[in-house]
Every structure is written in C-alpha cells, then in structure tokens.
Chain A
Amino acid sequence: MTILLQGFEGPLFDWSWVRSHLTSEIIPALVGHVYLSFVSVAIALVISLPTGVLVARYRKAYAPVTLVTGVLYTIPSLALFAILVVVPGVGVGPKAVIIALVAYSLLVLIRNVVAGIDSVPPETIDAARGMGLTEGQILLKVELPLALPVIIAGIRIATVTVIGIATIGAYIAGGGLGALIFDGIDRSFPTMVITGAILATALAVATDLLLLGIEHYFRPWARAAGRRG
C-alpha cells in the first residue's frame, strides 16, 4: 500500500468521507457487488446442477468435465478479464465480469454436486427403486435432498471465492466494491481502499454464515441425529 499510495498525506481513515459518500458511492458499490456475485453463482448453479447430475450418472464424462472446468479455474483472473473484454459481444463491463466469475465457480460446484450424489447410500436408492419410485422421483425426492448439504458446501466455497475475485472486476469497469478500491488507489486515498476491502470481507463472511444457516434449515434430520441418546 505504501507503494501504491505514494505521496499520500493525512489520516489513514477519514470517517467524514464515509458519511458523505455512504448513499452516493458506498451503498451502490456494495449493492453492485452483491449483484455481480449473486448473479454469477446463480448462473453457475443453473449450469452445474444438471451437469453434475449427468456426470454422476455417466461416469466417463467426469474426467473431461473436470479437466475443462479445472483449466478455467486456473487461469489468472486478471488475464481472463483481459481476454474476455476483446471477445466480440462481451467487451468492457459487468457482462465480462459475470462470465469470468461463472467460469471460476463451475469446478467447485460441479464437483460438489457429483460428490453429494455419490454420498447417497446405495441401499437407500435400492429401497426407493424397489418401492416403485421412478428414476426422476429418485433424483428429486431422494438423491438431491440427501446431496444438498454437500452441494450447499460447494455453493459456500464458490460464493466466497466469487466475492473476492469480483473486486478485480472493477478493473474492467464491472463495478462493485472493487471500484472503491481501484479509485482509492488512483487517488492515493486509503479510506476508499479500506472501506472497499472491509465491506468485501464482511460480505463474504456474512454470506457464508447465511448459507450455513440455510443448510442447517434444510436438514432437520441432521439436527435430530444430535438428539439420539
């Protein structure tokens, strides 16, 4: 920060700036960040759920799917943004950021959907089939509900990762809390950098806890297991 904020003089954190820019800059940046992260994870989930279910069924597809999403996952985020902005029809802005964030989420989400379905005891599925549930009913009423904790664990990891990477999206005009950070660096004004960083971290922690609560809510049977004497 000392290098980035060269020539800076004055207090490290200026509360009066926070007060005067709360509604004009800080809250819109936070809302923008929530939007970027939420939309990205939602889109990634829409892709990952069916893909994961298919891969869990057709095992041969697991290696290639992991390879492709794994390669996407390892591309440095700044490089991926740079590539995306020159793609026709994408360009600078939130669209490129969302595409990149979706790409980063796929590996974790797909892997957890598959792991979740794998964790369902085979005898439970055998019993379900033996009682006359159709394949669709087995998936919706048995496999997915039982896989839910593992899937939500994946969503938690993906969301926290995405909230972090989304800050870099401001570099290509994606908006969000990264805009505060980049602006602060440009203007050698640490208050903006610190505000953006703290809010991004707080958002990640809060979302993680929220998802943990949701997971708990959807698993009454796990709570019951704790009651067994």
Chain B
Amino acid sequence: MIEFREVSKLYPGSRSAAVKDLSFEVPDGEICVLVGPSGCGKTTSMRMINRLIEPSSGEILIDGEPNTSMSGTELRRKIGYAIQQIGLFPHRTIAGNIATVPQLLGWSKERIRKRVDELLEMVGLDPGDYRDRYPSELSGGQQQRVGVARAMAADPPIMLMDEPFGTVDPITRERLQDEFLKIQQEIRKTIVFVTHDIDEAIKMGDRIAIMEQGGVLAQYDTPENILTSPASDFVASFVGEDRILKRLSLSRVSEMELESAEGAGKDLPRIKGDPTVRDALSQLVGAGVEAAVVERAGERKLLTLRAIEETLGNRRGRT
C-alpha cells in the first residue's frame, strides 16, 4: 500500500505549490491513475514516491514505512519505473535494457537470461528475435513494450508509470492498454499511473485521482463514482459532458441482465460479439431501432434502450 500524508511540494523560486496537501491511499494490487490538466502536479506526485523529487512537507508511506527509511537508489530499485519518452538505453540491446535492475541487484546471469525471455514473451515480443537487437531497430510501440518489460524486470511490487503508452498512435495505444490490463490481472502490482487523458484513466484505473491546477486533489474515487457523482464543477467539466456514455463504456453487454429474445420479431438487427454497452448503444441508435438481438452462450437475448437506461439506474442505486 502507498499512502500520501499531507504531501506538499514547493519548488524553489516558485510562489505557488506544485502539489498541495495531498493525502490518499493506493491499496495493494490496484491501479491508481493520477489524471489532470498539465501543470496539476500529477507527475511531481508520482516522482515523489520513488524520491526522484523530495517533498517539501508531509510524507509518503510504503507498506507503512516512510519511503525515506532507505536510500533513494535502494528504494528505486524496488519500484518499477516506466516513462512516456521510454528512455531506453540506445547503447544496450533489448536484453541489456531489460536486465538493468536485475544486474544492479546482482542476479546470476542464468536467472537474468530466463527472466528477460519470460518478460519479452509477456509483452508479446519473440525473445529469439528481439533479445539481441538495439532499441533503434524497434518501432515506437515495440519500444514501449520493452519499456514496460524493463520496469517489471525485478518483479517489483510497486510500479510507477508516467504516460507509458503516450507516444504511439491511438490503435497501438489501445492494444497496449488492453495487453497491459491483461498482464495486470495476473501480476497484481500496485501501480501509480499518470496520464492527462481521462478516457485512459477511466479505462486503466481501479481508482482515479483527479488533480487540478495548484496540485490539489479534486476527487479520489472509482471511475464509476467519479462519472456518476463528480465532486465539483471542475471534475464534471474535466470528465466531460459525455460522462453518461463514458459510464456505459465501463461495462459490457455480457454483464447486463437481459430478457430472452424468444418470440421477438425476427427482423430485429443482431449485435455481434461482446461490445461495451456504449458501443452497443451506438449500434442501436445508428440502426434507428429500440431493440436488437444479442447471442450469449447459444441463447438469444433482447437488448433494448430501456435495458440500457436501467443499467444506469441500477448503477446509481448501487453506489
């Protein structure tokens, strides 16, 4: 668990604080997304966790221990670190890059070799093909995969990720996000993830910390609660007028309770696969109908506009 206790950061020569009285907790195994407009102190907050930046006041506890209880370098070797510009070492091979922290920790060559291959496979790069290449030979998306693999190399319980999928095209980014969420389901790291993109925050976060100008925490909650009940006008406008639709993108059609479509008109359009509720709604509206048929485990179910409205109501009731 990571715990911020009234953490503030005032840069020398600057009149206003970059981060002000920040207090929140990140439970183990969750992704906490720090999101907000540029200059809101989200990156500064993240960098104070592994002490690349020292707070002016307050403290940060990791598993109950202040992060100042060991040296900065010792601390950083125990915390994964991935950044937007990736920062791969151009003079080291992909294997050499991934092996950075294990080497610092004095792992045996054999153990490092195994770990490197395991990680390359995890991020979807064939070890035999990529191990001995240099970063300049890889595409942007491949480099970001290596950056994430490098951050996970020594299996740190905590990872800091600053817009780790920021420099690639939207399609590649979406794929990297999906792959990473899948990996996270297995590895269950405690992750602090920085982004300026609210959609990425909603997709990636178990919890979202929305920060506003001056390093103030505007709201800290689950994506659902933030979308349902924004704590302030700032949060509401930052989340966007389409927050109802964004909520619909949090769940999939397969998670909805639907009535059987037996006996319903055969001329209703069919929705294929298992899209998000938002995409399904888009298909209904696009087809100009109020209901469509979805197939689930061989059963035909009826998806109606009304059922979608009810999910929103149910969600409101539940929270």
Chain A residues within CB distance 8 Å of chain B: 121, 123-134, 137, 142, 145-146, 219-221, 224-225, 227-228
Of the candidates B83, B89, B104, B133, the one whose C-beta lies within 8 Å of that of A130 is B83
Cα distance A124–B88 in the bound complex, in angstroms? 6
A131 touching B90 in the complex, CB below 8 Å, given contacts A224-B136, A228-B137: no
Chain B: CB-nearest residue to A137: B104
Q: Does B73 reach chain A (CB closer than 8 Å)?
A: yes
Interfacial chain B residues near A128, Cβ < 8 Å: 87, 89, 100
Of the candidates A121, A123, A132, the one whose C-beta lies within 8 Å of that of B104 is A132
Q: A interface, by DSSP: helix, strand, loop or mixed?
A: helix
Whether B88 contacts A131 by the Cβ 8 Å rule is no
Whether A131 contacts B100 by the Cβ 8 Å rule is yes
We find that the number of chain B residues with CB closer than 8 angstroms to chain A is 30
A-B residue pairs in contact (CB < 8 Å), sample of 29: A123-B83, A123-B85, A123-B86, A123-B87, A124-B87, A124-B88, A126-B52, A126-B87, A128-B87, A128-B89, A128-B100, A130-B52, A131-B81, A131-B150, A132-B75, A132-B76, A132-B101, A132-B104, A133-B100, A133-B104, A134-B73, A142-B89, A146-B90, A146-B91, A219-B91, A220-B134, A221-B134, A221-B136, A224-B133
Interfacial chain A residues near B90, Cβ < 8 Å: 121, 124, 146, 221
Q: Does B262 reach chain A (CB closer than 8 Å)?
A: no
Whether B86 contacts A127 by the Cβ 8 Å rule is yes
Q: A126-B87, A128-B87, A145-B91 are in contact. List 6 more A-B contacts (CB 8 A).
A: A121-B87, A124-B87, A130-B83, A131-B150, A134-B73, A224-B134
- What is the CB-to-nearest-CB distance from B80 to chain A, in angstroms, rounded to a whole number? 8
Cα distance A123–B101 in the bound complex, in angstroms? 17
- What is the CB-to-nearest-CB distance from B299 to chain A, in angstroms, rounded to a whole number? 49
